[in-house]
């Protein structure tokens, strides 16, 4: 298939930000100005193109990352609009894994908010170059320079303004282009008509200062430009843009623009910046992987003629075509009907259809090429993070890591006949979302579903009802507690059984040691002299890991410890893998009793926004919830921002309480922070029998 757009004229970008910063509204304007849609849909009216799910339209928020394609200045721009709510951070994580560049949106009133920082960290993790767009310059309290300062202070980036706002709040009418030294004034409601004017005289001192910083940033990326700049020669517009592009691709700077997407002002310059500063697939490092059998490192260049290398970054159930697998193609090409190899699962599958997605609308393709983001049908055994390649040239790409769920509820079908249907539906939903999990409680027989927050599970149960026609009763939220140890312990345990035939014999000595928070469980073989035969070491590890799945205090998983196998004994006839596994499990549980076990609970980082006169009431309520206040500051809009660390268990139903305390004007956001030890008086109520735990 002939390539319509060369790779250097392809942009794979994401739009990411804190909730309510205007991501979907900005995407709608981009689609309108590029001619992809002929009418701008509004989020508040439930008519946004990218928010196509019923739950998104009703709540006015983005829940699932939606992909689309548009065209600007002879470039193809593949866009993924990501959610801003922390409960759906998985959508941002997997999108950033496959994108080449990001437009980070900031609210001109809210500035750098908690989810802004989370998105920034995720972009740092995957090494994604980015530009910034300060939206909502028309809002009361908008302050462009405060956002620039917050970006530098809280995100640690070199934020370089390439525009300044022309007026602000109700007087915002356009932007000052610092490269071309022109004022751009928007004239009509749709933002199609604009006029270039000389920069107002009162703005010239500020423009001069920011222009000098812009020139310095551009010149620092190239010796020739720096020499020209220091010599006092004027840099051309093209040289400035090339310098900014180099600096962006090297993560040395972040070009910052501004506008008011809802008022249709200054979105077209953002499109220009996407083309000018964000990378093409040729500008990012070649994809790295390893051979699935030998483990040897493999590098594949971005070229249509190369072997196929693609990553499945999202799976979605489509009632019309079945399972959709979203792919980013890093190398080679993929044709409809082609037989491909899933090197993660080590199975071959056939692609029955190839689709280019426009939110939930589909465009059929015969072939996809390097740099494309497409959806494939027929890959039923493929899940998120799997590598798709050719069997004769296999490669295994780095997968995607997702956080563990922090909240659970029980689900019961309203009728016995719907039990099987419920399990099938939950299986489909968990296939789509790696942060959503479910299991049957062995003691109660209840179905337990787990996710990232109350809203996350609320959306899941709503989808069960609407999409799968399964009605289920929802139980009280449950917290994903953990257990760990505070002291070292060494225990020797045996598993000896004598029967009429061959017996069972194993003896092990295990040492448990605490590890730092978040370090997880590790197993160490510290045996000497072959006291435990090599063929039984893996069985000992399996016994340890299995025993750690259910702790002593409340049956919660045990984390953050090292289990070292120090020694043991074996019988030349009666020893077996099962015997050593049982001995290790017994040793682990005995050692836990001696190692001062403690209960851990998930702690959330929350940011509560309220009016100043309600600050005392809100703080008093937070104190009653065991919240630890880490800071209070005034926001750009004149309200108070309270930053707290609060146990997840004490946040259930907080939205309703906060609304009552603030007469409906208070808001809050949360994200998982860490696990911390449960206070002794609280732990007594959580542990069966009211046992106490070790405390500091």
- Beta strand extents in 343-404 (DSSP E only): 347-350, 353-358, 361-365, 367-368, 373-377, 387-389, 396-397
Task: Determine which of 373-377, 452-456, 599-603 has the lowest per-residue pLDDT on average.
Answer: 452-456
Q: Which residue has the higher pLDDT, 263 or 360?
A: 263
Tokens, residue 314: 């999202």
Residue 239 has pLDDT above 60, yes or no: yes
User: b/e map of 73-110 (b: 16 or more CB within 10 Å)?
Assistant: eebbbbbbbbbbbbbbbbbbbbbbbbbbbbbbbbbbbb
The closest of 1, 4, 12 to 281, measured between CA atoms, is 12
Q: Which residue has the higher pLDDT, 62 or 108?
A: 108
3 state SS of 250: coil
* Angstrom distance (rounded) from CA 77 to CA 456: 30
Q: How much is the pLDDT for 45?
A: 43
Residue 680 has pLDDT above 90, yes or no: no
Residue 248 has pLDDT above 80, yes or no: yes
> What are the pLDDT digits (tens) for 289-327?
999 999 999 999 999 999 999 999 988 877 777 788 999
3 state SS of 574: coil
> Count of CB atoms within 10 A of residue 619's CB?
18
Q: CB of 370 within 8 A of CB of 286?
A: no
Give the mean pLDDT of 383-412: 89
Percentage of the residues of the chain whose pLDDT score is greater than 90: 58
> What are the pLDDT digits (tens) for 462-491?
888 888 888 888 887 778 899 999 999 999
Q: CB of 221 within 8 A of CB of 252?
A: yes
> What are the pLDDT digits (tens) for 583-604?
999 999 999 999 999 999 999 8
Task: Determine which of 140-149, 177-186, 286-295, 455-464 has the lowest per-residue pLDDT on average.
Answer: 455-464
- Alpha-carbon torsion (497, 498, 500, 502), positive or negative: positive
Q: How much is the pLDDT for 638?
A: 62
Q: How much is the pLDDT for 598?
A: 93
Residue 415 has pLDDT above 70, yes or no: yes
Q: How much is the pLDDT for 196?
A: 95
Q: How much is the pLDDT for 689?
A: 55
Tokens, residue 51: 């928010």
Q: How far is CA 546 from CA 189, 449, 582, in A?
A: 64, 21, 10
Percentage of the residues of the chain whose pLDDT score is greater than 70: 92
Q: Across the chain, what does the average pLDDT equal?
A: 88
Q: Which residue has the higher pLDDT, 503 or 341?
A: 341
> What are the pLDDT digits (tens) for 48-103?
454 444 554 454 544 566 788 899 999 999 998 776 555 566 778 888 899 999 99
Q: CB of 157 within 8 A of CB of 151?
A: yes
Q: How much is the pLDDT for 372?
A: 94
Residue 281 has pLDDT above 50, yes or no: yes
Q: How much is the pLDDT for 312?
A: 94
The closest of 142, 153, 166 to 116, measured between CA atoms, is 153
> What are the pLDDT digits (tens) for 530-574?
899 999 999 999 999 999 999 998 888 999 999 999 999 998 888
* Angstrom distance (rounded) from CA 26 to CA 191: 13
Given pLDDT bands bounded at 50, 70 and 90, which one contains residue 381? very high
Classify residue 435 by its DSSP letter: T
Given pLDDT bands bounded at 50, 70 and 90, which one contains residue 39? low
Q: Which residue has the higher pLDDT, 423 or 478?
A: 423
3-state secondary structure 179-234: CCCEEEEECCCCCCCEEEECCCHHHHHHHHHHHHHHHHHHHCCCHHHHHHHHCCCC
Residue 696 has pLDDT above 70, yes or no: no
């Amino acid at each position: 298939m002939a390539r319509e757009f060369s790779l250097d004229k392809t942009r794979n970008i994401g739009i990411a930000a804190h909730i309510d910063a205007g991501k979907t509204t900005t995407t709608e304007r981009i689609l309108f100005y590029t001619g992809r849609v002929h009418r701008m849909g509004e989020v508040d009216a439930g008519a946004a193109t990218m928010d196509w799910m019923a739950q998104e339209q009703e709540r006015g928020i983005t829940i699932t990352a939606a992909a689309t394609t548009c065209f600007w200045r002879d470039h193809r721009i593949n866009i993924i609009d990501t959610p801003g709510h922390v409960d759906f951070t998985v959508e941002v994580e997997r999108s950033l894994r496959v994108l080449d560049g990001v437009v980070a949106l900031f609210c001109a009133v809210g500035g750098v908010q908690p989810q802004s920082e989370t998105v920034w960290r995720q972009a740092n993790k995957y090494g994604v170059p980015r530009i910034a767009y300060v939206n909502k310059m028309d809002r009361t309290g908008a302050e462009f320079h405060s956002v620039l300062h917050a970006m530098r202070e809280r995100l640690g980036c070199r934020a370089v303004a390439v525009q300044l706002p022309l007026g602000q709040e109700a007087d915002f009418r356009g932007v000052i282009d610092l490269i071309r030294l022109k004022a751009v004034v928007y004239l009509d409601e749709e933002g199609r008509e604009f006029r270039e004017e000389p920069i107002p005289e009162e703005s010239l001192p500020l423009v001069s200062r920011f222009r000098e910083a812009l020139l310095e940033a551009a010149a620092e990326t190239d010796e020739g430009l720096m020499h020209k700049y220091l010599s006092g020669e004027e840099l051309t517009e093209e040289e400035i843009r090339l310098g900014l592009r180099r600096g962006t691709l090297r993560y040395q700077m972040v070009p910052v623009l501004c506008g008011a997407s809802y008022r249709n002002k200054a979105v077209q310059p953002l499109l220009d910046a996407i083309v000018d500063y964000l990378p093409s697939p040729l500008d990012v490092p070649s994809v790295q992987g390893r051979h699935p059998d030998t483990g040897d490192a493999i590098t594949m260049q971005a070229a249509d003629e190369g072997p196929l290398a693609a990553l499945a970054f999202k799976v979605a159930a489509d009632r019309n075509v079945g399972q959709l697998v979203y792919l980013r193609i890093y190398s080679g090409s993929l044709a409809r009907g082609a037989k491909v190899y899933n090197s993660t699962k080590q199975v071959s599958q056939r692609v029955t259809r190839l689709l280019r997605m426009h939110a939930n609308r589909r465009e059929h393709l015969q072939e996809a090429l390097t740099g494309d983001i497409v959806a494939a049908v027929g890959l039923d055994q493929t899940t998120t993070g799997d590598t798709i390649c050719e069997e004769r040239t296999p490669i295994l790409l780095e997968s995607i890591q997702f956080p563990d769920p922090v909240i659970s509820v029980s689900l019961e079908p309203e009728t016995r006949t719907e039990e099987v249907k419920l399990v099938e539906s939950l299986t489909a939903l968990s296939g789509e979302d790696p942060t959503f999990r479910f299991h049957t409680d062995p003691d109660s027989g209840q179905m337990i579903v787990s996710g990232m927050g109350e809203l996350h599970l609320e959306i899941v149960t709503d989808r069960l009802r609407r999409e799968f026609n399964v009605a289920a009763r929802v139980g009280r939220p449950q917290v994903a507690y953990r257990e760990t140890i505070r002291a070292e312990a060494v225990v020797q345990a045996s598993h000896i059984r004598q029967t009429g035939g061959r017996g069972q014999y194993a003896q092990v000595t295990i040492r448990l040691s605490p590890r730092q928070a978040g370090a997880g469980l590790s197993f160490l073989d510290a045996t000497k002299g072959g006291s435990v035969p090599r063929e039984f070491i893996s069985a000992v590890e399996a016994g340890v890991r299995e025993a750690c799945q259910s702790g002593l205090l409340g049956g919660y998983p045990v984390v953050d410890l090292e289990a070292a196998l120090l020694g043991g004994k074996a019988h030349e006839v009666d020893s077996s893998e099962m015997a050593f596994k049982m001995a290790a499990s017994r040793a682990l549980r005995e050692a836990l009793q001696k190692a001062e076990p403690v209960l851990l609970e998930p702690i959330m980082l929350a940011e509560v926004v309220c009016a100043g006169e309600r600050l005392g009431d809100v703080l008093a309520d937070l104190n009653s919830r065991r919240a630890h206040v880490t800071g209070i500051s005034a926001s750009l809009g004149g309200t108070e921002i309270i930053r707290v660390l609060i146990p997840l268990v004490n946040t259930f139903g907080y939205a309703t309480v906060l609304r009552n305390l603030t007469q409906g004007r208070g808001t809050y956001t949360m994200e998982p922070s860490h696990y911390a030890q449960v206070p002794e008086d609280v732990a007594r109520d959580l542990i069966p029998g009211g046992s106490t735990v070790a405390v500091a």
